[in-house]
C-alpha cells in the first residue's frame, strides 16, 4: 500500500486550512471520502435517480439494482449469513435505537437487567436508559480499568439470569480500546442474554465477522468507513429480526394496508419505512469497495505504525498523559496536558491547519471516570502519514509554550 497514492484519491487532503496544509486527525468523528465515493453520488443523481422497488421503468430498475447491490456489499463486509439480515439505517445511532424500540420494548420487563460498559458512546447509553425507565428495568455498567480496558471479572459477576441484553462497544471512540467482544458474547449467551455490538469505530479498522463473533445485533455508520453521512447498517440474526415488532410505519414496510389491519413486508424491508437514502446507500458500497481494494490487512499495518509512532512521540512531551493505554488499541490517541484546557489546544492546533477533536467525545460518564473534562483526540486513517504526526508534535510544543 502506497500512502501517497491513497492520498491522491482523497481530494480534500489537498486543501489548506488557515494557510497551512490540512492535517486531518479527526477520523474517529468522520473519515474523509475518496473521489470514487463522491463520484458515485453525483453519478447516481446525474444518470439514474429514481425511487426504488416499485418502479418498472429503466431508471427505477437501475437504482433498485444498485441499492440492493449495496446490501450484498454490507453482508460481505461484516460476514452476515444472509442478505435479509442487513437493514439500512441512518447510522449506528439509529441502529441501536431500532433495537431498543423494537426488541427492547418486546423483551425487557420489570426487574430485567441490561448491561452496558463504562466506555459507551451516548448513543449506546441513552436508548437503554429510555427502555429501562419505561419498563422499570435496571441498567448495569461494566467498570473501566485505569489502563482503559474493561474489567472482565466485574463483567462476569454482573451477568445473571436477570441479564436480558449486553450492549457493548467493540472499539472505544474515546480511548481506542478494542474490547474482547467474542469472549463477552460467549459469556452473555451462557446466561441467555442477547448481545448488541456497537461497531461504529471498529468497522473501519477490524475484520468484522458477525457469525464468528456470534453477536445478535451489530450496528455501524457509513461515514466512518469512508462513505457518506446519513447511511449505516444494522445487522440482526434473522430469527430475531423476524420476531421483532416493526419500528417505523409507512411505505415499503407493508405487505397490505386496510383500515382494519395492516400486514408487514418481509425482511429486510419490514424495517425500512419510507423512501430510503438511495444515493448514500449506493455510495456506501463504493466506500466498502475502496476498503476491500486497499485491503484491511494493509490498512491495519499502516495504522498500527502510525499509532506506535504517535504514542512514542506524545509520551516524550512533558506534562502529557495518554488516557487509555490498553494492550489492544486502534489508531487513536486521547491525551491531556497539565495546565492546558483541551479546547484551547484544539483552537491553536486548528490555526496550524491540524484538525483534532477535543472534549468529551459523547462519552461523558467515561470522562467522569477519569476525572477529566475531556481529552485531545487524534485519530488516524489509511491516508495519514508519519510526517503529519511530526506536524502535530511540533504544533503541540508550540501551543504548550503559548498556553502555559
Ligand atoms: N458509537 C460510537 C462508539 C461512536 O463513535 C459513534 C460516533 N461518534 C456512535 C456510536 C454514533 O454514530 P453515529 O453518530 O454515526 O450514529
User: In the 3-class helix/strand/coil scheme, how is 312-337 assigned residue by residue?
Assistant: HHHHCCCCEEECCCCCCECCEEEEEE
173 lines ligand 1 (CB under 6 A): yes
Residue 193 has a pLDDT of: 98
Quote the mean pLDDT of the chain.
Answer: 98
97 lines ligand 1 (CB under 6 A): no
221 lines ligand 1 (CB under 6 A): yes
Compute the distance between CA of residue 52 and CA of residue 73 in angstroms, rounded to an integer.
18
- The kind and range of the H/E element at 4 are helix 3-8
Residue 296 has a pLDDT of: 96
Q: How confident is the model at residue 54 (pLDDT cuts 50, 70, 90)?
A: confident
Position of cell 510544543? 397
Q: In what order do the strands lie in the sheet with 357-359?
A: 320-322, 332-337, 375-379, 357-359
Q: pTM of this prediction? A: 0.98
Cα–Cα–Cα angle for 122, 142, 109, nearest 5°?
A: 75
Question: Cis peptide leading into 327, omega within 30 of 0?
Answer: no
Task: Indicate which atom in ligand 1 lies nearest the CA of residue 229.
Answer: 15
- The kind and range of the H/E element at 194 are strand 194-198
Task: Give percent of the chain with pLDDT exceeding 70.
Answer: 100
Task: Indicate which atom in ligand 1 lies nearest the CA of residue 171.
Answer: 3
- Nearest residue by C-alpha to atom 4 in ligand 1: 200
> In b/e form, how buried is each residue of 170-205, taking b as 16+ CB within 10 angstroms?
bbbbbbbbbbbbeebbebbeebebbbbbbbbbbbbb
Residue pair 128/114 in contact (Cβ under 8 Å)? The answer is yes
Task: Give percent of the chain with pLDDT exceeding 90.
Answer: 99
- The kind and range of the H/E element at 87 are strand 86-89
Nearest of 218, 188, 214, 192 to residue 203 by alpha carbon: 218
| Mean pLDDT of the region 342-363 | 98
| Local structure of 141: helix, strand or coil | strand
Position of cell 472505544? 172
- Summarize pLDDT for 150-182 with one digit per residue, the tens: 999 999 999 999 999 999 999 999 999 999 999
| Local structure of 361: helix, strand or coil | coil
Domains of the chain: 3-30+296-403 (3.90.1150.10), 38-292 (3.40.640.10)
Compute the distance between CA of residue 65 and CA of residue 278 in angstroms, rounded to an integer.
11
| Chain centroid offset of residue 392 CA | 25
Q: Is 90 exceeded by the pLDDT of residue 70?
A: yes
Q: Is 90 exceeded by the pLDDT of residue 55?
A: no
Compute the distance between CA of residue 94 and CA of residue 127 in angstroms, rounded to an integer.
10
- The kind and range of the H/E element at 169 are strand 163-169
Q: Is 90 exceeded by the pLDDT of residue 218?
A: yes
Residue pair 208/78 in contact (Cβ under 8 Å)? The answer is yes
Residue pair 197/220 in contact (Cβ under 8 Å)? The answer is no
Compute the distance between CA of residue 318 and CA of residue 200 in angstroms, rounded to an integer.
33
DSSP code, position 143: P
In sequence order, the 6+-apart residues with CB closer than 8 A to the CB of 106 are 244, 245
Task: Indicate which atom in ligand 1 lies nearest the CA of residue 29.
Answer: 8
| Mean pLDDT of the region 346-368 | 98
Q: Which of 28, 93, 334 to mutate to test the pocket of ligand 1 (most atoms within 8 A of CB)?
A: 93
> In b/e form, how buried is each residue of 14-30, taking b as 16+ CB within 10 angstroms?
eeeeeeeebbbbbbbbb
| Mean pLDDT of the region 43-53 | 97
CA distances from 188 to 78, 163, 181, 235, 284 (A): 21, 8, 10, 18, 32
- The kind and range of the H/E element at 139 are strand 138-142
Compute the distance between CA of residue 359 and CA of residue 361 in angstroms, rounded to an integer.
6
What are phi and psi for residue 371, nearest 5 degrees? Answer: 65, 35
For this structure, is 362 an active site residue? yes
Residue 21 has a pLDDT of: 98
154, 240, 254, 362: the active-site residue: 362
Residue 367 has a pLDDT of: 98
What are phi and psi for residue 346, nearest 5 degrees? Answer: -60, -40
Amino acid at each position: 500500500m502506497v500512502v501517497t497514492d491513497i492520498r491522491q484519491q482523497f481530494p480534500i487532503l489537498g486543501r489548506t486550512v488557515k494557510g497551512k496544509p490540512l492535517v486531518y486527525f479527526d477520523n474517529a468523528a468522520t473519515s474523509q471520502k475518496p473521489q470514487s465515493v463522491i463520484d458515485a453520488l453525483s453519478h447516481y443523481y446525474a444518470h439514474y435517480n429514481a425511487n426504488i422497488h416499485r418502479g418498472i421503468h429503466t431508471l427505477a430498475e437501475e437504482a433498485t439494482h444498485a441499492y440492493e447491490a449495496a446490501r450484498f456489499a454490507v453482508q460481505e463486509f461484516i460476514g452476515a449469513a444472509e442478505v435479509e439480515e442487513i437493514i439500512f439505517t441512518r447510522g449506528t445511532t439509529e441502529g441501536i435505537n431500532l433495537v431498543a424500540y423494537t426488541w427492547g420494548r418486546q423483551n425487557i420487563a420489570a426487574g430485567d437487567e441490561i448491561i452496558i460498559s463504562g466506555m459507551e458512546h451516548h448513543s449506546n447509553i441513552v436508548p437503554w436508559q429510555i427502555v429501562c425507565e419505561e419498563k422499570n428495568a435496571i441498567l448495569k455498567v461494566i467498570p473501566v480499568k485505569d489502563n482503559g480496558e474493561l474489567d472482565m471479572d466485574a463483567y462476569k459477576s454482573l451477568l445473571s439470569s436477570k441479564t436480558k441484553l449486553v450492549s457493548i462497544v467493540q472499539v472505544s471512540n474515546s480511548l481506542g480500546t478494542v474490547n474482547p467482544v467474542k469472549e463477552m458474547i460467549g459469556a452473555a449467551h451462557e446466561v441467555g442474554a442477547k448481545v448488541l455490538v456497537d461497531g461504529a469505530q471498529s468497522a473501519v479498522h477490524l475484520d468484522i465477522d458477525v457469525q464468528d463473533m456470534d453477536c445478535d445485533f451489530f450496528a455501524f455508520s457509513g461515514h466512518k468507513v469512508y462513505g457518506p453521512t446519513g447511511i449505516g447498517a444494522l445487522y440482526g440474526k434473522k430469527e430475531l429480526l423476524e420476531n421483532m415488532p416493526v419500528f417505523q410505519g409507512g411505505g415499503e414496510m407493508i405487505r397490505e394496508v386496510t383500515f382494519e389491519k395492516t400486514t408487514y413486508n418481509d425482511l429486510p424491508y419490514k424495517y425500512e419505512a419510507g423512501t430510503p437514502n438511495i444515493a448514500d446507500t449506493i455510495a456506501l458500497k463504493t466506500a466498502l469497495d475502496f476498503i476491500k481494494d486497499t485491503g484491511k490487512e494493509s490498512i491495519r499495518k499502516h495504522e498500527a505504525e502510525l499509532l506506535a509512532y504517535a504514542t512514542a512521540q506524545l509520551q516524550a512531551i512533558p506534562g502529557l498523559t495518554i488516557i487509555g493505554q490498553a494492550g489492544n488499541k486502534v489508531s487513536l490517541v486521547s491525551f491531556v496536558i497539565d495546565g492546558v484546557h483541551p479546547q484551547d489546544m484544539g483552537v491553536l492546533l486548528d490555526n496550524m491547519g491540524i484538525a483534532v477533536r477535543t472534549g468529551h467525545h459523547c462519552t461523558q460518564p467515561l470522562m467522569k471516570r477519569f476525572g477529566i473534562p475531556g481529552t485531545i483526540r487524534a485519530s488516524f486513517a489509511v491516508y495519514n502519514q508519519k510526517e503529519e504526526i511530526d506536524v502535530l508534535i511540533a504544533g503541540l510544543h508550540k501551543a504548550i509554550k503559548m498556553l502555559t
